[in-house]
Amino acid sequence: MLRPLVAARPAAVRAAIVAASLALSAVAFGGLAPAAAQQVGVRPADAPPPLRKGTGLPLPRFAALRSEETNVRAGPATRYPIDWVFKRKSMPVEIVAEYENWRKVRDWQGAGGWVHQSLLTGKRSVTVIAREAMLYKTPSTTATAVARLQTEVICLVKSCSGEWCRVQVGPHVGWIERAKVWGVYKGEVVN
């Protein structure tokens, strides 16, 4: 007598195999709903927005321009048109948003747009916003004046604490009142 190589499976075993296949399909394809009821690419209203890679650093924060000319775009990609060209190396900018490798920045007058992260540096600088500001030898208005600075002079920040920042402008190093510059937050400590 000849026997089949594979024995016939009982009905209960076949039903268990079909149920397991359906369960695996549900996991693999996102649910048991029929294809017509599933919407591809639609996020439920209560779901969090998709994560975009950024630095995870707090916003807003300050940075400085890395080069003499920096293209500022209307959106976060090279396909967007150039709105501005910042032409001052080390000019402080405030980063107000991030999208992947792009940073939305603004200058002390509010002009801005999107800049690629490679065009920014974490080295801190400030811009004089007062009509005139004195650079002092020590952090006191009664100290010896080192230099007289005018509006839009860019200073490299050495440190800030309290109401004063220690800065460098060319060969001159001294202290300037925090209220007369833009590029550091009130109460921010910079080392």
- Percent of the chain past pLDDT 70, that is, above it, reads 72
d(CA 52, CA 43): 15
For residue 24, pLDDT beyond 60? no
Q: What letter would DSSP give residue 130?
A: S
The answer on pLDDT for 67 being more than 50 is yes
Q: What is the DSSP string of 29-84?
A: HT-SS-GGG--TTPPPTTSPPPP-------SSEEEEE-SS-EEEESSSSTTSPEEE
Confidence of residue 58 (pLDDT cuts 50, 70, 90): very high
What is the average per-residue pLDDT within 97-112?
97
- pLDDT at position 52, please? 54
Query: pLDDT digits over 148-174, tens only?
Result: 999 999 999 999 999 999 999 999 999
The mean pLDDT value of the chain amounts to 83
Amino acid (one-letter) located at 85 = V
In the predicted model, is pLDDT for residue 28 greater than 50? no
Q: How much is the pTM?
A: 0.71
Average pLDDT (134-161) is 97
pLDDT category at 15 given cuts 50, 70, 90 is low
Average pLDDT over residues 164-190: 97
Domains along the chain? 61-122 (2.30.30.40), 126-182 (2.30.30.40)
Mean pLDDT of 99-118: 97
Q: What is the gyration radius of the CA atoms in the chain, in angstroms? A: 30
Q: Residue 15: phi, psi to the nearest 5?
A: -65, -40
| pLDDT at site 38 | 42
Which residue, chain included where needed, has tokens 């026997």? Answer: 3
